Structure 1
Amino acid sequence: MSEKRKYRTSRTRSERIRSGRLRRRPEGQRPSPKEVLAGAWASLREASPRSLGASVGPLLSLALAAGATGLTLGAPMVPVAPVNPVRTQPLAAPDRDILLICPPAAGNGLEVADYDQVRQASLLAVQDGATASFEGEALPSGSPQVQDFAEGGVLSVKHNGSSPAEGMGHSATLMEAGDLRGLATAACTAPRSTAWVVAGSTRPGSYAELRLSNPGNTTVTASVQAYGSTGPVDLPGGGQVAVPSGQTESVYLGTSSATSPDGRLAVHVTTDGGALGVHLVDETLDGETAAGMEVVSAGADPATEQLVPGVVLVEAEQQGQAASGPVSSDQPLVRLANPAEVPATVKVSLLGADGEWVLPGAESLTVDPGAVFDVSLAGVAPGTYALRTTSDQPVAAAVQLVRSAGEYPARSGALLHDRAWLQASTADLSLGADITLPRHWGLSPQLALANSSPQRRVVTLRAVGEEWSSQMVLEPGATAVPEDLPETVSALTASADGEGVHGAVVVTTEVTGETAGTLVSALPAVPGAQAQASRHVLLR
């Protein structure tokens, strides 16, 4: 089992001297070959994972030269030329088969008595002409396939040389009333060897279940690390989970006494070499008041810049922010997780129809090492936004949306509400993305696109199973909603003529009766076949 990676920042020679790692030598005294080698290996140990690849070549060359020639140190030291920063560039690889994990319905983790009222559905769509199967059974290409159940499974799409291996899907769960009143949707996503989910709660009345699915032929061992508001959380068994071939294992994240009292949660999953589907089931009951459910797909790994599209905000009293009277236990917020061993300074900004602006009070937030931090979105005008974070250390990010209703039960002081979690985007439309639009039971999906680049972008949308396509222009640093998307389209591909465009779908429905109100869920745009087949190469 490999040791858990620790994120560290490289320190300069002067910083290591101050910390006691190096001692100053007298003025004019030259280093010995042994000291040069020791300094080289110390630099390697101090290097961050990102800089290690750029450092190891020059340092090994120095070590070999010292061993072979004795390294003439009597002459003046030769200045070292500056090293250009290492970056990565995604290059499209030849088309290949793709594999997607489609999650099952939310379930009944809270074991409520009225779960028999639940409704489930799923959708699978494959590009016309491609060969596909779901759980080993052939799946027609072209028109999306809709089922009235959501058991989950593996979607396999083969590249046949003439049609792209493009497939997509989602599951949906609806409870219009009862203790689990809420709407949950979850996208089919590719298995990953490392995954982050920034969502959920471990406060009383909450249920957080991590689902790990193994589509491979051998057992995969996963390491699960949870984070709370005060730092890393110890999990039973050290967070080690063995996932047999073709099976799904669940990890309940509320069993540790070390979970933070405010319930903030972020989860990191790594594997010992295989790849797993990763989803988080989030169910909450606020005393006797339903507080929603969601199934959340993994988002982007920690980075110094993140973008969360699909942040659709409504009037304050409709999202748990009433100034007086009954209250909601949840409100719209941005959640930040800092896995580094040093504090992270983060700036939060919003991209709207008229451009980008910094969230007041979030110009320079400090997130402690290993901690999860929530920032309220109270006071932001209703509208469709994308949220951008920039930071000096890699952080993971997500946004919680809330839709609240009336007080229930009467005189409880608590508002009925539902929640949706939007993760930092993993799909840049420059390499293509797949998007599904849940329309089961009269659901209303809204596609939101955001352009985080400084250039204007043109986005092309194409329906799967229908002869429909459209183009729209996105201004720099702005968001937009397609106006001409037909109500008959439930699956589409999206592409952009440059980097920086991301998308997400916010799904709502209105329920009636004693617990009337709006339910909400969200789906990400998923990297398409070209993006999944791309390879990152080092550029200097």
Structure 2
Amino acid sequence: MNVSVSGIVRTVLVAAAGAGLVVAATQSQGAIALGSRTADDSRVSGSTDPVRGSTVVCPGPELKGVPGVDDLPLGVRVAAAAAPASVLSGVAPVSTPGSVVLTAVPGGPAKDTATTRGDLAAADVGGRSGVLAEASQALAPGLAAAQSWLVASGDQRALASSPCTQAGSDFWVLAGGGAPGRQERLVLTNPGGNAVTVDLTLHGPDGELASPQGKGIVVPARGRTSFLVDSIAGDVASPALHVVAEGGVVSAAVNDSWLDGTRPAGSDDAVPTAPPSRDQVIPAVQVAGPAVLRVAVPGDSEAVVQARVLTATGPRALPAGGVTRLDGGQVRDIDLSKLPFGTVGIQVRADVPVVAAVMVSRGAPGAPSDFAWSSSTPALTGVAGLPLMDPAGSPKPLARGLGLSATGDTAVVDVVTLGAGGAEKTQRVTVARDSSSTVNLTGASSVWVRQVSGKGLLHGGVISAISVADGTLITSTPLLDTALRTTSVSLREVRH
């Protein structure tokens, strides 16, 4: 079940001697109904209702706001939309009119508003602000948002993107490297009304790095804090960052930027991986040259890790490194550069929980280059979507493709795109077991995905690219489930 930040239902049960008293406390979404039975009745019933409010959090300009580090003059373009009614899969939104609103945090007026399903709310953001995309009432189910930026030449030459995500309290983010001129900036955004304290732990090829840096970082209420990961350790070859929040929830994103001497080597945003698991899937990986699979072991136990490629014609072994051992806490990069060109998924299986991500690069040796990070994703269980607005300053429309992967069984998927003027197009795509499929999205203003049949576990992401004077810029954006329903719970008093 997806639950928005404002829709977390909290129940507190308090027992009073001889009274059988039940106390329930709720927030804005969801309802607790209290009943009383004199019989031995301990049943708890529940029903699901459409969400009336949902929030996702965008990092905003990632290259601004780190104390002691010069801001770079880059902004981002943020877009948000509520899914078209055709993909809501039996969810009937409430009849009260609603809206999708973009608001900068900390403070400031609304940046833009949409009041119709499928329409984009969009804004260019240039300050040290995160952005909240908030949907209310009839537009609350199916909210999705994303941000991007593009620089075609110069030191910051890159195409970068990030989905706007639901906030949480425990994340792993895999990105960055120890080469000179490479920096990782962690952006933490707090959508709540109370300050949150965050502890960061950095892992590398030798395991966890013992360091007092990164502990007790305060993210203010409805605010943003940026942190330079190099302040923990600046030469970790394959960093993996563990983010733990106390006192509330935050969103987390890492911008990985690389200036290799005088050669711009690219930049991209990495968002949290799927939670640690013995089975991880990274969709929408487009290999065309240098590429690495990064795997980290969160626990203390040794892991035996097996990786394979999910192609259009089924699973294939990696050319090398398909089976490897890692000690607890370690991080390992596995070379994928010998894979043939194509959009694939990468599946990682292990005997203990792991986390994983892939980085692919574009560019000739010695020439300017760019790269894209793709994190592992949770399987999609409802409706996922992504606005596809081109970033500011784009000299031409981006080329985009949807990459879908299914594991365990076949997945039959409806892919709905909205084009110019709101024209809606639906394609039914069958993703075979342990395979991947692609759909061309060029010209679409948003894409929405819903599995309609099949028992396969579905994962997806969008690859965006543009050809500029000295090569190709690329980025990858994962698809994540949107909030659709919340739960109304009926608690019945138990008497003995």
TM-score by length of 1: 0.71
On the 8 A contact 1:103/1:170 being kept in 2, the answer is no
Name whichever structure is richer in strand by fraction: 2
In the TM superposition, residue 298 of structure 1 has moved relative to its aligned partner by 1.4
Q: 2:285 aligns with which of 311, 315, 324?
A: 311
The answer for the alignment partner of 1:286 in structure 2 is 260
On the 8 A contact 1:437/1:505 being kept in 2, the answer is no
In the TM superposition, residue 507 of structure 1 has moved relative to its aligned partner by 1.0
On the 8 A contact 2:264/2:368 being kept in 1, the answer is yes
**Amino acid aligned to 2:354:** V
In the TM superposition, residue 262 of structure 1 has moved relative to its aligned partner by 4.9
The answer for the alignment partner of 2:149 in structure 1 is 173
Q: Does 1:491 align with 2:446?
A: yes
In the TM superposition, residue 93 of structure 1 has moved relative to its aligned partner by 4.1
From the superposition, tell whether residues 461 and 533 of structure 1 become closer, same or farther in structure 2 (CA, over 3 Å): farther
Consecutive unaligned residues of structure 1, counting only runs of 5 or more, are 1-90, 320-330, 408-413, 536-540
In the TM superposition, residue 164 of structure 1 has moved relative to its aligned partner by 5.0
Q: 1:131 aligns with which of 93, 99, 114?
A: 99
Q: Which runs of 4+ in 1 moved over 6 A?
A: 109-113
The answer for the alignment partner of 1:435 in structure 2 is 386
Structure 2 CA distance, aligned partners of 1:286 and 1:236? Answer: 29
Residue pairs, 1:82-93, within 5 angstroms:
93=48
Structure 1 CA distance, aligned partners of 2:169 and 2:232? Answer: 25
From the superposition, tell whether residues 208 and 305 of structure 1 become closer, same or farther in structure 2 (CA, over 3 Å): same
Q: Does 1:392 align with 2:351?
A: yes
Which of 1 and 2 has greater Rg? 1
Instruction: Note the alpha carbon deviations across 1:278-311, whole angstroms, 9 max, x for none.
Output: 1101111111111111122212111100000011
Q: Does 1:527 align with 2:495?
A: no
**Amino acid aligned to 2:198:** A
In the TM superposition, residue 144 of structure 1 has moved relative to its aligned partner by 1.4
**Amino acid aligned to 2:275:** D
Structure 1 CA distance, aligned partners of 2:158 and 2:259? Answer: 11
Structure 1, 234-243 or 195-204: larger mean CA deviation: 234-243
Residue pairs, 1:140-539, within 5 angstroms:
140-142=114-116, 143-149=119-125, 152-160=130-138, 164-237=140-213, 239-257=215-233, 261-314=235-288, 319=289, 331-405=290-364, 414-426=366-378, 428-440=379-391, 441=394, 442-454=397-409, 456-463=410-417, 465-483=422-440, 485=441, 487-496=442-451, 497=453, 498-512=455-469, 516-530=470-484, 533=486
Structure 1 CA distance, aligned partners of 2:258 and 2:321? Answer: 28
Name whichever structure is richer in helix by fraction: 1
On the 8 A contact 1:112/1:179 being kept in 2, the answer is no
**Amino acid aligned to 1:227:** H
The answer for the alignment partner of 1:6 in structure 2 is none
Instruction: Note the alpha carbon deviations across 1:32-67, whole angstroms, 9 max, x for none.
Output: xxxxxxxxxxxxxxxxxxxxxxxxxxxxxxxxxxxx
From the superposition, tell whether residues 93 and 374 of structure 1 become closer, same or farther in structure 2 (CA, over 3 Å): farther
From the superposition, tell whether residues 533 and 291 of structure 1 become closer, same or farther in structure 2 (CA, over 3 Å): farther
**Amino acid aligned to 2:413:** V
Q: Secondary structure at the match of 2:232?
A: coil
Instruction: Note the alpha carbon deviations across 1:419-451, whole angstroms, 9 max, x for none.
Output: 11000013x233221223343422212111111
From the superposition, tell whether residues 509 and 534 of structure 1 become closer, same or farther in structure 2 (CA, over 3 Å): farther
**Amino acid aligned to 1:508:** A
On the 8 A contact 2:144/2:384 being kept in 1, the answer is no
On the 8 A contact 1:105/1:172 being kept in 2, the answer is no
The answer for the alignment partner of 1:57 in structure 2 is none
**Amino acid aligned to 2:205:** S
Structure 1 CA distance, aligned partners of 2:281 and 2:146? Answer: 22
In the TM superposition, residue 383 of structure 1 has moved relative to its aligned partner by 1.1
Q: Secondary structure at the match of 2:459?
A: strand
Structure 2 CA distance, aligned partners of 1:294 and 1:219? Answer: 28
Structure 2 CA distance, aligned partners of 1:429 and 1:182? Answer: 29
**Amino acid aligned to 1:123:** A
On the 8 A contact 2:60/2:76 being kept in 1, the answer is no
On the 8 A contact 1:112/1:180 being kept in 2, the answer is no
On the 8 A contact 2:163/2:477 being kept in 1, the answer is yes
**Amino acid aligned to 1:468:** K
Q: Secondary structure at the match of 2:49?
A: coil
From the superposition, tell whether residues 208 and 93 of structure 1 become closer, same or farther in structure 2 (CA, over 3 Å): farther
Instruction: Note the alpha carbon deviations across 1:160-205, whole angstroms, 9 max, x for none.
Output: 4xx5522222211111111121111111111011111111124321
Structure 2 CA distance, aligned partners of 1:238 and 1:507? Answer: 33
The count of corresponding residues between Structure 1 and Structure 2 is 409
Q: Secondary structure at the match of 1:239?
A: coil
**Amino acid aligned to 1:158:** S
In the TM superposition, residue 534 of structure 1 has moved relative to its aligned partner by 8.1
Consecutive unaligned residues of structure 2, counting only runs of 5 or more, are 1-45, 85-96, 104-108, 489-496
On the 8 A contact 2:287/2:337 being kept in 1, the answer is no
Structure 2 CA distance, aligned partners of 1:234 and 1:174? Answer: 36
Instruction: Note the alpha carbon deviations across 1:303-330, whole angstroms, 9 max, x for none.
Output: 100000011112xxxx3xxxxxxxxxxx
From the superposition, tell whether residues 144 and 221 of structure 1 become closer, same or farther in structure 2 (CA, over 3 Å): same
**Amino acid aligned to 1:491:** S
Q: Secondary structure at the match of 2:179?
A: coil
In the TM superposition, residue 231 of structure 1 has moved relative to its aligned partner by 1.0
Residue pairs, 1:90-129, within 5 angstroms:
93-96=48-51, 97-107=53-63, 118=74, 120-127=76-83
From the superposition, tell whether residues 219 and 249 of structure 1 become closer, same or farther in structure 2 (CA, over 3 Å): same
Instruction: Note the alpha carbon deviations across 1:247-296, whole angstroms, 9 max, x for none.
Output: 11112111235x5x452111111122411011101111111111111122
In the TM superposition, residue 364 of structure 1 has moved relative to its aligned partner by 2.3
Structure 2 CA distance, aligned partners of 1:172 and 1:183? Answer: 7
TM-score by length of 2: 0.77
The answer for the alignment partner of 1:12 in structure 2 is none
Q: Secondary structure at the match of 2:400?
A: strand
In the TM superposition, residue 234 of structure 1 has moved relative to its aligned partner by 3.2
On the 8 A contact 2:48/2:486 being kept in 1, the answer is yes
From the superposition, tell whether residues 171 and 418 of structure 1 become closer, same or farther in structure 2 (CA, over 3 Å): same
Structure 2 CA distance, aligned partners of 1:226 and 1:93? Answer: 39
From the superposition, tell whether residues 490 and 288 of structure 1 become closer, same or farther in structure 2 (CA, over 3 Å): same
